[in-house]
Amino acid sequence: MDSGDGFYSVDEFHLDSKWLVDPNQLFVGPKIGEGAHAKVYEGKYKNHNVAIKIVHRGDTPEEIVKREGRFAREVAMLSRVQHKNLVEFIGACKEPVMVIVTELLLGGTLRKYLFNMRPKCLDRRVAIGFAIDIARAMECLHAHGIIHRDLKPENLLLTADHKTVKLADFGLAREETLTEMMTAETGTYRWMAPELYSTVTLRQGEKKHYNHKVDAYSFAIVLWELMHNKLPFEGMSNLQAAYAAAFKNVRPSADDLPEDVALILTSCWNEDPEARPNFTQIIQMLLHYLSTIAPLGPAIPPRIFTRENSILPPESPGTSSLMAKKDSTGETPRESMQDKPRGFFFCFGGECY
């Protein structure tokens, strides 16, 4: 099923019938996210609110092969891995277009949640709780031999009550084998592990050896963000941050953090991938630190959607998370779905993507 260049062939890919979505029961609502190769819509499937990811097939034969392969790979992984901290997979179909249907999470992305809190920081217990959620999701993926490769706040979604974090977007995920050569410079530069670069910078698309420890590095950068609520490598462009990490061994400062947290960070972003802990060890370290700090106050930070039209800082291109837009009340707008219900095929006939 896996082709020589690391892509699955959709023609050879067969989805179990229990995951096969009936396009006639899909209703596509407002667009809630967009990436380089896909758009995400709020919608309904069998009267349940869902997120509908529509994957663009591409324009050239080469693009079509790659995107169909990525779609097949993502669906294969989503259909076999379930965990409370992974976005729930509902199903998929590849005709008339490639579609992935997942649960709809109304809490938005972790990136937007943190950005709208600035300059305030999360309560440390909340920050560590979120980190444990993320680490448990990664532990599950690694137990199934899957490397996510794109771990960043934009791909982490919050439940409506903002108490749970779930990992989304398997578009860059790969199954790990001992000898696999994987594409360099995947993921988003600012969060990428240094071993994704070589002494002589690889051209995009070249192959390089690396393993699941790239996710531990990305996790450390996310944990640093959870503790500081600042963009890591602030003042640098994405490429400057990647260059500094890879060639100068630069890391965000952990000097002002508790010793236990600093130890987690420095071990996870160690230059030597083999010296980094696995996620089972990371969870134990986080739980130990959590047991040493005072109980949480009355409540976690309230829903923060006061900046309705906040402009987020620029990021390097990456796959878009399945996030839901909010109106000024903090709720998801539904007028367009209620007043103008659109069937799946009507939506495509109207060129809504």
Q: Is 327 a catalytic residue?
A: no
Provide the sign of the torsion angle of the four alpha carbons 137, 333, 38, 11, taken in this order: positive
Q: What percentage of the chain's residues is helix, strand, coil (to nearest 5)?
A: 35, 15, 50
Rounded-to-integer distance, Cα 333 and Cα 324, Å: 9
Q: Residue 49, exposed/middle/buried by CB under 10 A (0-12, 13-18, 19+)? A: middle
Catalytic position from the list 150, 215, 260, 272: 150
Closest CA to 185 of 251, 246, 262: 246
Q: In what order do the strands lie in the sheet with 89-93?
A: 26-34, 38-45, 48-55, 98-103, 89-93
Closest CA to 29 of 349, 336, 332: 336
State both tokens at 75: 């669906």
90 by DSSP, 3-state: which? strand
| Beta strand 174-175 pairing with 146-147 | antiparallel
State both tokens at 6: 């690391």
Residue 53 in marked binding region? yes
Report the binding-site residues for ATP: 53
The residues annotated as belonging to the active site are 150
Report the binding-site residues: 53
